[in-house]
Amino acid sequence: MDIGEGIRKAMAKLSRATIIDAKAIKEFNKDLQKVLISNDVDVSLVLKLTDSIEQKALKSNPPAGITSYDYITDIVYNELVSLMGNSYEPELKPHKILMMGLYGSGKTTTAAKLAKYYQDRGLSAGVICCDVTRPSAYEQLETLAKQANVSFFGIKGETDASKIVAKGMAELQSKRVVICDTSGRNAINEQLIEELKAINSKFMPDQSVLVLSADIGQIAGHLSEEFNNAVKVSGLIITKMDGSGKGGGALSAANAANAKVMFIGTGEKLSDIEPYNSERFIGSLLGMPDLGGLLEKVQNAIKDENINEEEVDVEKLNFESFYAQLKALNKMGPLKSVFGMLGASDMPKDVIEKGEEKLVKYKVIISSMTRDERHDERLLHQEGRIRRIAIGSGTSEKEVRELLSDFAKMKKSFKMFKNDRNMKRFISKFSG
């Protein structure tokens, strides 16, 4: 079972208890232990966590006006945040980053993601390919750099990584952030250590970052210690956090080994990387809304798609602005992650899949409309227009009418939202 789903089920079971007494807390802790251990969190850390929850829950009383359940939820939240480590705030200043990691960690993709992250925030960035052992490394990083719109340097066929990094630094000296990608191995060995030391002495990085895949779980702490003995590790980037049940194990193990988690990879797109925020991560596990994170994703999606913000203005909602919103939504990744940020992580899979299918179909239908029809939906009620759009989009007239009906409902909802002061206060509370 997914770690978030398991924790939410344990919390839901506790909420149904008539009285939250010692028996209820012990039962909850057993459920929590099963979830965390099955998701590769170290047993000793789990026992320490649940013991702390029990001690705090039973030896103190909720403040006035706070229910026992809300009080326990707050205790669980704070204990899990402590287990998963501190948040990271990246410094937006010129610096050099050395990337390290084993095969399969996603190191090369992460190098490009990181370069894009800093460049999107005003720091010109470039990447150097010093992976001299993997045949396709040069082409992969060159392609990713082009997609990320950052500078690239490499010497195809060169086997001396020290020579590449020296020339790369000269070539990219005008860039404010320079990221050096290095070779990986199936396991850390003497050859890899010597290669990293040689690159490190030439590159003189401000940060030496170890990239680890979330699916390694508890080994994260051990690997960070091994790499740290070879080249001083500044922090970790944990990749594949969107699809691995062992992500919690990797984070907790890293924290136990005093290894700072700097960023997490949340998907396959180049924009799917974010500074590690333990409060936000635990909030998502507990099913808490993250509207601040959602608004940030929306803004990044609008920027990536080069959409004018006026195009997605709900005040001027028409099919033109709705089409722009669909493009932005598509850039934000799977609907599941969007629902999660709204606090609806356990939305049924079939509902999400049907929703995604419908959104794809709606984009096709709108693209078959004329410019005038997109700006004035009243034109679509004229004879023959719906039939023409259905033929042009490869859909049925029934599906076009379904879009019109859903669009009318959405406009009505936005109008209600616009006039709802309580909803506005709710939004501002979570978005800051």
Let me know if residue 206 belongs to a domain: yes
Let me know if residue 13 belongs to a domain: yes
| pTM value > 0.85 | no
Residues 109 and 157 reside in one and the same domain: yes
Q: List alpha helices for 67-136, DSSP H.
A: 68-84, 107-119
Residues 110 and 125 reside in one and the same domain: yes
For the segment 175-207, what is each residue's pLDDT rounded down to a tens digit?
Answer: 999 999 999 998 889 999 999 999 999 999 999
Distance CA 324, CA 310 (A): 10
Find all residues with CB under 8 Å of 349, minimum gap 6, and list them: none
pLDDT category of residue 432 using cuts at 50, 70 and 90 = very low
The number of C-alpha atoms within 13 Å of 47 and in the hemisphere containing its C-beta is 3
CB atoms within 10 A of CB 37: 15
Let me know if residue 89 belongs to a domain: no
Let me know if residue 421 belongs to a domain: yes
Residues 273 and 323 reside in one and the same domain: no
Answer whether residue 108 shows pLDDT above 90: yes
Residues 99 and 30 reside in one and the same domain: no
CATH at residue 70: 1.20.120.140
26, 83, 48: which is closest to 285 by C-alpha? 83
Residues 301 and 415 reside in one and the same domain: yes
Q: Which pLDDT score, from 0 to 100, does residue 430 have?
A: 44
**Assign residue 404 a region: left if phi > 0, alpha if psi is -120 to 50, beta otherwise?**
alpha
Answer whether residue 49 shows pLDDT above 90: yes
- Measured in residues, the chain has a length of 432
**How many degrees, rounded to 5, is the angle at CA 302 between CA 298 and CA 304?**
115
Let me know if residue 156 belongs to a domain: yes
Q: What angle, 0 to 180 degrees and rounded to 10, lies between the N-to-C axes of helices 385-393 and 397-418?
A: 110
Where does a domain end: 84, 108, 143?
Answer: 84
Question: Which range, 73-77, 178-182, 232-236, is most confident?
Answer: 178-182
Q: Taking a C-beta distance cutoff of 8 angstroms, is the pair 195, 163 a contact?
A: no
Distance CA 275, CA 258 (A): 17
Where does a domain end: 57, 84, 111?
Answer: 84
Residues 321-324: contacts with CB within 8 Å, 24+ apart? 322/362, 322/366, 322/407, 322/410, 323/363, 323/366, 323/367, 323/374
Where does a domain end: 84, 108, 139?
Answer: 84
Domain interval for residue 161: 95-285
Residues 48 and 109 reside in one and the same domain: no
Residues 240 and 345 reside in one and the same domain: no
CB atoms within 10 A of CB 169: 19
Residues 316 and 273 reside in one and the same domain: no
Answer whether residue 301 shows pLDDT above 70: no
For the segment 130-180, what is each residue's pLDDT rounded down to a tens digit?
Answer: 999 998 999 999 999 999 999 999 999 999 999 999 999 999 999 999 999
CATH at residue 128: 3.40.50.300
For the segment 85-97, what is each residue's pLDDT rounded down to a tens digit?
Answer: 999 999 999 999 9
Residues 209 and 314 reside in one and the same domain: no
Let me know if residue 90 belongs to a domain: no
CB atoms within 10 A of CB 409: 10
Residues 59 and 163 reside in one and the same domain: no
Residues 139 and 8 reside in one and the same domain: no
CATH at residue 339: 1.10.260.30
Answer whether residue 290 shows pLDDT above 80: no
Residues 231 and 309 reside in one and the same domain: no
Residues 424-431: contacts with CB within 8 Å, 24+ apart? 427/291, 430/289, 430/290, 430/291, 430/292, 431/291, 431/292, 431/295
Q: List alpha helices for 307-384, DSSP H.
A: 319-331, 335-341, 349-367, 371-375
DSSP 150-199: -EEE--TT---HHHHHHHHHHHTTT-SEEEEEE---SS--HHHHHHHHHH
62, 424, 110, 129: which is closest to 269 by C-alpha? 110
Let me know if residue 187 belongs to a domain: yes
For the segment 374-409, what is each residue's pLDDT rounded down to a tens digit?
Answer: 888 889 888 889 999 999 999 999 989 888 888 887
Considering its fold, how many domains does the chain have in total? Answer: 3
Bridge partners (DSSP) listed for residue 265:
273
- The Cα-based distances of 36 to 30, 279, 414 in angstroms read 10, 18, 41
